[in-house]
Amino acid sequence: MARAPGGAAVRTAISEVVRFDKAAARIGGRTIWADVSLTVQPGEFMAVLGPNGVGKSTLIKAALGLIPLSAGSVTVLGRPAGQSGGQIGYLPQRRSFDPGLRVRGIDVVGLGGDGERWGVPLPMAARFSPTRRAMIDRVREVIDLVGASGYAHRPIGQVSGGEQQRLLIAQALVRRPSLLMLDEPLDSLDLPNQASVAALLATICRDHDVAVMLVAHDVNPILPYLDCVAYLAGGGAACGTPEQVITSRTLTALYQTPVEVLRASDGRLVVVGEPEAPARHADRHGHTAEPR
């Protein structure tokens, strides 16, 4: 497996980072989506959009191999889903840490490097082991990269939501992944933080050649950075550039009901007439939400 510096060599050999081919997912007897085909190219910034409860997180989990497909296939970094764990940075849907959790941000970031290894980190390891020293340097480097040096030594439960999100992005980056998968990373951040985290992700994507697959229900904060969009609705998906997908025609066909996309004077997109999504909470606590 390509570890730290070897990552780049592997990366060039792969033409598609993620490839869904006529994929379908069934959960609890209900088809969440079917016939989804999409690809993410190396270094591309892709958004998975759609109303809540439509199976956006399921798409990410299928790519991670956490949920089996009922039909079709998915390959990630040239291998079946679930076999490239070390090369994928994953941010699950909004975790907020218990305010009483007395563990520093830097320790949580460090788990991104070697959290699954058996054993205990030895107290003096940094002095004797070059691997360990490299890991410590790498953790510091990613913390600098996301701009979290100022608060990485505070207990993670006590920093703000935006700061936690930056630390978690750092955690996902420790092993120099070729793919970042983020499940609603902007959810429950205030507007300035949404903009700055989106800009940070775009920087990581461009400057460090990391493909980004990001689940969102609001396209606006990330719109300026997107290379392509997968819009999930009504059990299917439409893929393409934002200009191709987020249009009245495509969304109307996807929803099978009239939908209008308006562009506000500041460039923000407004989708009008999408069928009422189930209450927001449904997405957070389970896909068991009633089908619309």
Partner 1 sequence: MRFTGASWNLAHDLRQMLAFPFMVHALRAGTIAAVLAGALGWFMVLRRQSFAGHTLAVVSFPGAAGAILLGISATAGYFAAAIAAALVIAAVPRQQGGLRGLNVGGSASAESAVTGTVQAFALASGALFVSLYGGFLSGLTDLLFGSFLGITAAQVTTLLAAAIAALAVLALIARPLFFASVDPDVAVARGVRVRLLGTVFLLLLGCGAAEVSQITGALLVFALLVMPAATAQLLTARPGVSFAATIALAVATAWLGLTTEFFSASPIGFWVTTFGFGGYALAALWRSAATALA
Binding site for partner 1 (CB under 8 A): 27-28, 61, 64, 66-67, 85, 88, 90-93, 95, 97-98, 101-104, 107-108, 111-112, 114-121, 123, 154-155, 171-172, 285-288
Nearer to partner 1, 116 or 266 (CB): 116
| Shortest CB 257 distance to partner 1, Å | 26
| Minimum distance of partner 1 from residue 68's CB (angstroms) | 12
Q: Contact 242/229 with Cβ under 8 angstroms?
A: yes
Which residue reads 């983020």 in tokens? 182
* Type of residue at 284: R
Distance (Å, rounded) from C-alpha 265 to C-alpha 139? 42
Q: Indicate the pairing of strand 45-49 with strand 228-233.
A: parallel
Burial of 216 (0-12, 13-18, 19+ CB in 10 A): buried
The type of residue at 162 is G
CB of 10 to partner 1, least distance (A): 18
Closest distance of CB 268 from partner 1, Å: 31
Minimum Å gap between C-beta 159 and partner 1 is 11
Considering beta carbons, is residue 103 or 270 the nearer one to partner 1? 103
The answer to whether residues 212 and 180 touch, using CB atoms and an 8 Å cutoff, is: yes
Q: Which is nearer to partner 1, 117 or 127 (CB)?
A: 117
Choice between 113 and 242, CB closer to partner 1: 113
Minimum distance, C-beta of residue 247 to partner 1, in the bound complex (Å): 32
205 in Cβ contact with 174 (< 8 Å): no
Torsion region of 77: left, alpha or beta (phi above 0 gives left; psi -120 to 50 gives alpha): left
Task: Give me the sheet containing 79-80, strands edge to edge.
Answer: 30-40, 18-27, 71-76, 79-80
Closest CB to partner 1 among 174 and 205? 174
- Give whichever of 118 and 128 is closer to partner 1, judged by the CB atom: 118
